[in-house]
A and B are shown apart, each in its own frame.
Chain A
Amino acid sequence: MIRKEAKLVEPLLDPKIPQKPTRDGYGLGVVEAAEKNPNVLVVCADLTDSTRNADFKKKFPDRFVQVGVHEQFLAAGAAGLALGGKIPFITSYAMFCPGRAWEMVRTNIALNETNVKIIGSHAGVSVGPDGATHQAIEDIAIMRPIPGMVIIAPCDAVEAKKATLAIAEYEGACYVRFAREKSPVFTTEETPFEIGKAVTLRSGKDVAIIACGPLVYQALVAAEQMADEGLDVMVVNSHTIKPLDEKAVLHAAEACDAIVTVEEHQITGGLGGAVAEYLAKARPTVQEFVGVPNVFGESGEPNELLRQFGMDAPAIRQAVRKAYKRKTQR
């Protein structure tokens, strides 16, 4: 059942639940972070509105740095700004930064230990009609092997704002991926958020879903629906992919003995991979992976694409059944 401590909205499955893109939460968060700390800057690569920096630009014109379509410079130049004592939030579509700028992120930001915040909007296939070129579904995979890099995928706009404020306070390189498309706002101001600390949203004993990003809501929908099938499904919001909350993952594996990971990202190298790498050492556990199955995205409406690539609630239910079956047949 839904845990009261998670302080989610009620009723959770209301078809009219308010929806907002997670990038909106970033836009609110970065303004608040800038009000708190004069060193916070926004660096923008010709995408002011769509990366939700318009309010920041209006309120802090002197702290808004426009670099044009220069994603490599966005990352490398920000390392220099950070060396000068600033806390630059570098913003683009995830496909371009960290995508295009990966080596600068790795060498100039991470190895160089600079305090840069990488904001990747338009992550996932739910970018929709823009098609495969703009759908970043490899970003977690390219960021995970970078030592010290914090990686966060907020589940809704409220959590997105909290994540933005949290990384402003955190000393070190962080990457947060945001979505273009609206998704249900189901957490509240009271829902706990701490970098590196997963939140168990629903308790259960048969299968544990560990999810990140807006698909956490789809995981909750699937879990609620599966009560009818007699399956009691745990849902864990692992908003921080790195450092992975190993304690929470181990707890989920011990409580349910079967895991389903859910993410709007390639199955290769994402949250599922992080969970599997950890559990293979700590407690080998049956695991099913919901994510993009090693193909590129394509144009379409967000919901059509989530269905097409097997990441909607029905696909999650199917993965839960499979994990449960594998567990009971062992």
Chain B
Amino acid sequence: MSHLSDKRIKELELIANTLRRHVIESVAHAGSGHQGGPLGMADVFAVLYFHTLNHDPKHPDWEDRDRLILSNGHTCPIRYAAMAEAGYFPVEELKTLRRLGTRLQGHPERIKLPGSETTSGPLGAGLAQAAGLAYAGKMDKKKWRVFCQTSDGEHEAGLHWEAMLFAGKNRLDNLVCIVDRNNIQIDGRTEDIMPLEPLRDKYEAFNWHVVECNGNDVEAVVAAFEATKSLFDKPICVLTHNIPGKGVSYMENNFLWHSQPFKPGEADAALAELDATRKQLKTELAKL
């Protein structure tokens, strides 16, 4: 499927495990925040920051970098975790999440945190900014690409569809919209709240390419992002099918874990499960 060695894939799985650990620890330490989405997106973020994105953590304003716009800003614990591991800032800083004076705001702010690319939180606005950015890149014949991470729930916002029309009209093939298709939102399952299916058909009807993958399979995610490089003349949607809360069994597929405070013992149980997975991954890695 992908050109990566089994060893490299296992290493990315290990990074995803580390990111999940950071999510649990930072949200538990903050006393509030979101867990379900970030855990489900951990594999995608490991691939983005450690494989796909052309970026330089020491020079977050590097002109030729790929831009990653996080539209569903509430899932920032996973982005912060990936940025810290990649070297944008010290890992210890993750403990300041949501605290007064922190660069790691409850929803990300561009001015406060170099490398966060934009300020986000109110849903449905990320693709619009990503499309504007991609349009500017095309005007200047730049090689960099714009990746926009979105949630499925935010596809209910009208602005997102305005941006889809604009990107389709202007054939922004330097724009990749990643959808965290995890089927949950705050009040329940997306198909109960406001059905989105057939989502792939909708993107295609708006003149987008669509690539689908299992977003919790690192090798499949790598292959999906590789496939985007040979798609032209239309913007590209990477529909990643994810399990919300992935990696922590009591959270998986439970919409209540979109966001809720940990009760005593819950964070420790999550970390213990992630540690067990980590040991297994390391054993498997040693054999490769």
Size of chain A's interface in residues, with CB distance under 8 A?
26
Q: In the complex, which of the residues B121, B132, B134, B158 contacts A79, with contact meaning CB atoms closer than 8 Å?
A: B132
The answer to whether B131 has its CB under 8 Å from any CB of chain A is yes
- Point out which of A83, A86, A88 has the most chain B C-beta atoms below 10 A from its C-beta: A83
Contact A83 B117 (CB under 8 A): yes
The answer to whether B111 has its CB under 8 Å from any CB of chain A is yes
Binding site secondary structure of chain A: helix
Per-position contact with B for A175-214: 1 when CB-CB < 8 Å, else 0? 0000000000000000000000000000000000000000
Size of chain B's interface in residues, with CB distance under 8 A?
30
Contact A80 B132 (CB under 8 A): yes
B152-171 residues at the A interface, CB under 8 angstroms: 158-159, 162-163, 165-166
Q: In the complex, which of the residues B118, B121, B132 contacts A81, with contact meaning CB atoms closer than 8 Å?
A: B132
Chain A residues with Cβ below 8 Å from B121 are 107
Chain B residues with Cβ below 8 Å from A67 are 162, 166
A96-116 residues at the B interface, CB under 8 angstroms: 103-104, 107-108, 111-113
Chain A residues with Cβ below 8 Å from B159 are 72-73, 76, 104
The answer to whether A15 has its CB under 8 Å from any CB of chain B is no
Known contacts A76-B159, A85-B136; decide if A111 and B109 are in contact (CB<8 Å): yes
Known contacts A72-B159, A80-B128; decide if A113 and B110 are in contact (CB<8 Å): yes
Known contacts A73-B159, A85-B140, A113-B110; decide if A103 and B122 are in contact (CB<8 Å): yes
The answer to whether B133 has its CB under 8 Å from any CB of chain A is yes
In Å, the complex CA distance between A113 and B111 comes to: 7
Contact A65 B163 (CB under 8 A): no
Chain A residues with Cβ below 8 Å from B130 are 80
Chain B residues with Cβ below 8 Å from A107 are 119-122, 125
Per-position contact with B for A59-78: 1 when CB-CB < 8 Å, else 0? 00010010110101100111
- Chain A residues in contact with chain B, CB under 8 A? 62, 65, 67-68, 70, 72-73, 76-86, 88, 103-104, 107-108, 111-113
18 further A-B contacts with Cβ under 8 Å, apart from A77-B128, A80-B130, A107-B122, are A70-B165, A70-B166, A73-B159, A76-B129, A80-B69, A80-B128, A81-B136, A83-B67, A83-B129, A83-B133, A85-B140, A86-B136, A104-B159, A107-B119, A108-B125, A108-B129, A111-B109, A112-B111
